[in-house]
Amino acid sequence: MPENPAATEANLPVPPADGSAPAPTPVSSRERYRGLIWLVAAAFFMQALDSTIVNTAVPAMAEALHVTPLGMRTALTSYVLTLAIFIPASPWLCDRFGTLRIFGAAIATFTIGSLLCGIAQTLPQLVAARVLQGLGGAALMPVGRYVLVRSIDKRDFVRAMSTVATVGLLGSVLGPLLGGALAQYTSWRLIFLINVPVGVVGMWMNRQSMPDYRLDKAHPFDIIGFLLFAASSAMLLTASEVASGGGGKWVWIAIYGALAVVFGAVYVWHSRHTDHPVADLSLLRIRSVWVSLAGNLFTRLGVSGMFLLLVLFLQVGCGWSPLMAGMMMVPQALGSITAKWGINRLLNLFGYRRLLFTNTLIVAVLLASFALLGKGSPMWLIALMVYVYGWFMGMQYTAMNTLIYNDLDVSYASQASSMASTAQYLSMSFGIALASLLMEALLQGHAHEDYIPAFRWTVLLLGVVTATASWVFSRLDADASPRSKTASG
């Protein structure tokens, strides 16, 4: 029986009988870095809010800027292109200037870019401001992940990432509603200006909670490799943008595509002959790394343009208001949030290979099932389909985003984080461009009702693209599972 009942009742440590000081209660890394987790989550929230809020307001923005709804893809892909190009520089910037300065500067740049987006008067001005947003956003996700990997124990990492992703998904919940409401009742400009107060709070949190990881002597930056990688990425995305624009410019598409291959091949050769490449391709020798990157690519290639298509289907094809269309995006985020609470247990039970193989096929079928929708489809059915789709996508994203770190030593975390984020945003760019290209090619006219059959055929084709990722995930080892069996706590 304890000698200090009052301490027991208050859940306080009981002093030993010999009068010595009680042993300190162990504090998990997740508790110790709670402020850091919420800081990274706030950055993810800001990015998620920005991306989802823009999708809902695309038709209103297109009308105000005098372009077609599908013509707004430039404002979407320019942001993601900038992310993909500049993300590889984030590891060196952290090593050289420290995570505290870089993360704070990233939040500030993203906030200023949001302000400029909100006051843009033309599409080119909006695109330029989106590029500035991308410069800031390029460091938010990789640096946030890197700091969490450095700070959080492996047994707590998946739970910490789930917390971060869940807060980010709250931005996905609020984004469609805010985007629809602001576009319908006020001005689409506020969808960008709303990031400003969030950014100010984020900069304050950065000073309070961000650890300052850096190297005493950073290695020289691989400027040649960076330029080669940037050129290859830019040429690929330019080719997809030209293809999305139509007009039979196949010669230019071939030229840009060939240049992308040339620059990419030269980069591969260069990375093997430099000590500190901007993206260390030797990590691809690890099976979980290359499977994670390739699986991310094919999955996001199929799904990234889905909600832009759904917004166009509902607003343009079916005549829904922006607010009503935005409400139909909310179940997706709610489904993703509810799925993430069980991902740890399912990963420990089934392992990465079985879970990702099966879940990817389910996502592909659900994506294709949206082809069953029509102008008279009841709202409850659309909401239910979007919720179920979001639930399985939440499983998919969390599993894919943690797989790359599963077999890596912490010393490679920075490079892995950069490569994961780059692959994610490149594939998102390709996914948006591919979805726009397919829907534009399948449009039989410019009447509103023409968007319905084009939407149906597009999601069917994207479902096929998504299904190919299941084969990639089948390449994982049969026993691939989270490194710590206690991760689910």
Residues 163 and 264 in one domain: no
> Looking at the domain assignment, is residue 484 inside a domain?
no
Residue 431 Cα distances to 115, 241, 488, angstroms: 27, 11, 33
Res. 383 pLDDT band, cuts 50 70 90: very high
Residues 241 and 96 in one domain: no
Residue 187 phi/psi, 5-degree rounding, is -145, 145
What is the C-alpha separation between 144 and 90, in angstroms, rounded?
A: 11
Evaluate if residue 389 carries a pLDDT over 80: yes
Percent of residues, the chain, with pLDDT higher than 70: 86
**Exposure pattern of 64-102 as b/e (b: 16+ CB <10 Å)?**
ebebebbbbbbbbbbbbbbbbbbbbbbbbbbbbebbbbb
Greatest Cα pair distance, the chain, in angstroms, is 87
Instruction: Look at residue 461 in the predicted model and tell me its pLDDT.
Output: 94
How confident is the model over 2-19, as a mean pLDDT?
Answer: 42
Instruction: Look at residue 459 in the predicted model and tell me its pLDDT.
Output: 92
Res. 15 pLDDT band, cuts 50 70 90: very low
Residue where a domain terminates, one of 234, 259, 274: 274
Instruction: Look at residue 259 in the predicted model and tell me its pLDDT.
Output: 92
CATH code for position 197: 1.20.1250.20
Nearest 5°: the CA angle 87, 92, 98 is 105
Average pLDDT across the chain, whole number: 79
Evaluate if residue 415 carries a pLDDT over 50: yes
Instruction: Look at residue 4 in the predicted model and tell me its pLDDT.
Output: 41
Task: Please write down the HEC assignment for all residues of the chain.
Answer: CCCCHHHHHCCCCCCCCCCCCCCCCCCCHHHHCHHHHHHHHHHHHHHHHHHHHHHHHHHHHHHHHCCCCHHHHHHHHHHHHHHHHHHHHHHHHHHHHCHHHHHHHHHHHHHHHHHHHHCCCCHHHHHHHHHHHHHHHHHHHHHHHHHHHHHCCHHHHHHHHHHHHHHHHHHHHHHHHHHHHHHHHCCCCHHHHCHHHHHHHHHHHHHHHCCCCCCCCCCCCCHHHHHHHHHHHHHHHHHHHHHHHCCCCHHHHHHHHHHHHHHHHHHHHHHCCCCCCCCCHHHHHCHHHHHHHHHHHHHHHHHCCHHHHHHHHHHHHCCCCHHHHHHCCHHHHHHHHHHHCCHHHHHHHHHHHHHHHHHHHHHHHHHHHHHHCCCCCCHHHHHHHHHHHHHHHHHHHHHHHHHCCCCCCHHHHHHHHHHHHHHHHHHHHHHHHHHHHHHHHHCCCCCHHHHHHHHHHHHHHHHHHHHHHHHHHCCCCCCCCCCCCCCCC
Among the ranges given (126-130, 312-316, 343-347, 472-476), the one the predictor scored with the smallest mean pLDDT:
343-347
Nearest 5°: the CA angle 470, 472, 478 is 90
> Looking at the domain assignment, is residue 480 inside a domain?
no
- Return the half-sphere exposure (C-beta side, CA atoms, 13 A cut-off) of residue 30: 14
What is the C-alpha separation between 48 and 450, in angstroms, rounded?
A: 30
> Looking at the domain assignment, is residue 137 inside a domain?
yes
Residues 299 and 231 in one domain: no
Residue closest to 100 by CA, chosen among 145, 159, 54, 143: 143
> Looking at the domain assignment, is residue 429 inside a domain?
yes
Residue closest to 127 by CA, chosen among 79, 93, 81, 70: 79
Residues 374 and 289 in one domain: yes
Under 8 Å between Cβ of 338 and 394: yes
Instruction: Look at residue 411 in the predicted model and tell me its pLDDT.
Output: 66
Residues 6+ positions from 231 with CB-CB distance below 8 Å: 259, 260, 263
Give the count of beta carbons closer than 10 Å to the beta carbon of residue 268: 14
Instruction: Look at residue 10 in the predicted model and tell me its pLDDT.
Output: 36
Residues 323 and 187 in one domain: yes
Res. 479 pLDDT band, cuts 50 70 90: low
Range(s) of the domain holding residue 236: 222-274
Structure tokens at 118: 């909100």
> Looking at the domain assignment, is residue 10 inside a domain?
no
Res. 488 pLDDT band, cuts 50 70 90: very low
The string of pLDDT tens digits covering residues 36-53 is 888 888 888 877 777 777
How confident is the model over 50-59, as a mean pLDDT?
Answer: 77
How confident is the model over 256-264, as a mean pLDDT?
Answer: 90
Instruction: Look at residue 31 in the predicted model and tell me its pLDDT.
Output: 58
How confident is the model over 215-221, as a mean pLDDT?
Answer: 72
Residues 263 and 283 in one domain: no
Instruction: Look at residue 7 in the predicted model and tell me its pLDDT.
Output: 38
More confident of the two residues 486 and 260: 260
Residues 254 and 374 in one domain: no
Residue the block writes with tokens 């390449």? 475
Residues 148 and 170 in one domain: yes
Evaluate if residue 477 carries a pLDDT over 70: yes
> Looking at the domain assignment, is residue 87 inside a domain?
yes
Q: What is the dihedral of CA 390, 396, 400, 403, to 10 degrees?
A: 130
Evaluate if residue 278 carries a pLDDT over 90: no
Residues 401 and 285 in one domain: yes
Evaluate if residue 386 carries a pLDDT over 80: yes
Instruction: Indicate left, alpha or beta for 252 from its phi (over 0: left) and psi (-120 to 50: alpha).
Output: alpha
Instruction: Look at residue 238 in the predicted model and tell me its pLDDT.
Output: 77
How confident is the model over 200-205, as a mean pLDDT?
Answer: 86
Res. 445 pLDDT band, cuts 50 70 90: low
The string of pLDDT tens digits covering residues 72-107 is 877 877 887 788 788 778 777 887 888 888 889 999
What is the C-alpha separation between 120 and 134, in angstroms, rounded?
A: 16
Residue 153 Cα distances to 30, 144, 403, angstroms: 8, 15, 16
Res. 23 pLDDT band, cuts 50 70 90: very low
Most confident stretch, 55-69, 117-131, 275-289: 117-131
pTM (two decimals):
0.75
> Looking at the domain assignment, is residue 292 inside a domain?
yes
Instruction: Look at residue 12 in the predicted model and tell me its pLDDT.
Output: 39
Under 8 Å between Cβ of 359 and 399: yes
More confident of the two residues 246 and 58: 58
Instruction: Look at residue 68 in the predicted model and tell me its pLDDT.
Output: 79
Under 8 Å between Cβ of 175 and 53: yes
State how many domains the chain has.
2
The string of pLDDT tens digits covering residues 137-179 is 888 877 887 788 777 776 677 777 777 877 777 777 777 788 8
Res. 108 pLDDT band, cuts 50 70 90: very high
The alpha carbon dihedral of 181, 184, 187, 188 has a sign of positive
Res. 482 pLDDT band, cuts 50 70 90: low
Residue where a domain terminates, one of 274, 290, 308: 274
Instruction: Look at residue 57 in the predicted model and tell me its pLDDT.
Output: 81
Evaluate if residue 262 carries a pLDDT over 90: yes
Residues 400 and 262 in one domain: no
How confident is the model over 325-331, as a mean pLDDT?
Answer: 84
> Looking at the domain assignment, is residue 3 inside a domain?
no
Q: Amino acid identity, residue 194?
A: I
Residues 291 and 270 in one domain: no
Residues 167 and 230 in one domain: no
